[in-house]
Amino acid sequence: MRRFGNRVRRRSQSGCDVIIERCHRCAGDPTCERQVDNACLPVPFFGDISNVHLKVVTIGLNPALNEYREKGLPKNHSQRLAMLSDYACDDRERLADADIEDARFRRENYFRNENRDWHQYFEKMEFVINRANPAWTYLTGSAAHLDIVACATNSRWSDLTTQCQNRLIHNCRDYFSQAINSLPGETVLLCDGARVIQEIKNLGLQLELHPNQAISFHERTGCHYGVVGRLLIDGKILQIRGWSSYVSRLSAYWRIDLARWLGGTII
């Protein structure tokens, strides 16, 4: 009992009580010096994970910097996520409640805003999920997207040091875990890439995985495998599907092949 009590107390001190837009755990982490763009507000998910029509959640690494900036400069307001300058503010901790509400509205309406372009990542992912199951689409809210790290970085994820990647995942884990725990039962979690699958394992939740399934063989990267399983959280079951290669790196040919495999696992 005492061990359980300690665990609960540690969790509540860990940052989960902090509103993510005001969080600077990643921005202030010395291991990732100058990597996390403090001006770009963290985004833990795109779309609305509380939508009653939600059926599936794609899970990726972290928001791309070009969701905020282009050639170093902020993009047009209608085409980007929230930045500190939108609220005449230079310190995340001083954001007003109305500012945070606005930032959330923008990320929750990302896919529904008819004047906004989706990032290429989401166009590729939409292609895969909608081909696997025509009822799955970001457009209507049956699909949403989560990232294991909510903070945008100046370098691409693959160019960050391993230490920095690990720190960012560690810093954002409470927020990610909170989002996963809030999902309704039977939601399907689609894990894009081996690192995401690993982080699902690291959450310490009850996880049942079947042996990896071969999806295809790529000359450059070797076997591309798929994962099927489920997470059990307080009597809720979340279905797990994952794949080892990142969708953003797959050609159209291999995305069609992935969608075929994915569709076959949900029948």
Which of 108/147 has CB closer to Zn ion?
A: 147
Residue 84 and residue 225: Cα distance in Å, rounded?
40
Among 82, 83, 103, 151, binds Zn ion (CB under 5 A): 151
Which of 100/151 has CB closer to Zn ion?
A: 151
**Residue 26 touching Zn ion (CB under 5 A):** yes
Tell me how crowded residue 87 is: count the other CB atoms within 10 A of its CB.
19
Which of 56/61 has CB closer to Zn ion?
A: 61
**Residue 20 touching Zn ion (CB under 5 A):** no
What are phi and psi for residue 228, nearest 5 degrees?
-130, 135
- C-beta separation of 243 from 224 below 8 A: yes
Instruction: Provide the minimum distance between the beta carbon of 39 and Zn ion in the complex, in angstroms, as a whole number.
Output: 14
- State whether the Cα torsion 123-165-10-40 is positive or negative: negative
Which of 69/173 has CB closer to Zn ion?
A: 173
Residue 141 and residue 61: Cα distance in Å, rounded?
21
Task: Using CB positions, name the residue nearest to Zn ion.
Answer: 26
Stretch of 84-92, 139-147, 171-179, 239-247 contacting Zn ion, by CB under 5 A: 171-179
Instruction: Provide the minimum distance between the beta carbon of 21 and Zn ion in the complex, in angstroms, as a whole number.
Output: 11
**Residue 228 touching Zn ion (CB under 5 A):** no
**Residue 146 touching Zn ion (CB under 5 A):** no
Stretch of 21-29, 63-71, 137-145, 180-188 contacting Zn ion, by CB under 5 A: 21-29
Residue 41 and residue 23: Cα distance in Å, rounded?
9
The bridge status of strand 56-60 relative to strand 188-192 is: parallel
Tell me, by CB under 5 A, how many residues bind Zn ion: 4
Instruction: Provide the minimum distance between the beta carbon of 29 and Zn ion in the complex, in angstroms, as a whole number.
Output: 8
Among 144, 172, 200, 262, binds Zn ion (CB under 5 A): 172
- Measured CA angle at 208 (ends 189, 260), to 5 deg: 45
Instruction: Provide the minimum distance between the beta carbon of 24 and Zn ion in the complex, in angstroms, as a whole number.
Output: 8
Query: What CA dihedral angle connects 36, 200, 256 and 165, to 10 degrees?
Result: 20
- 252: enclosing H helix or E strand: helix 252-265
- 166: enclosing H helix or E strand: helix 162-182
**Residue 171 touching Zn ion (CB under 5 A):** yes
Binding mask 37-66 for Zn ion (x = CB under 5 A): ------------------------------
Which of 144/148 has CB closer to Zn ion?
A: 148
**Residue 169 touching Zn ion (CB under 5 A):** no
Stretch of 78-86, 92-100, 135-143, 144-152 contacting Zn ion, by CB under 5 A: 144-152
- Reference 254, options 228, 223, 229; nearest CA is 223
Residue 224 and residue 243: Cα distance in Å, rounded?
7
Measure Cα distances from 203 to 30, 91, 186 in Å.
Answer: 24, 30, 18
Query: Which residues here bind Zn ion, judged by CB under 5 A?
Result: 26, 151, 171-172
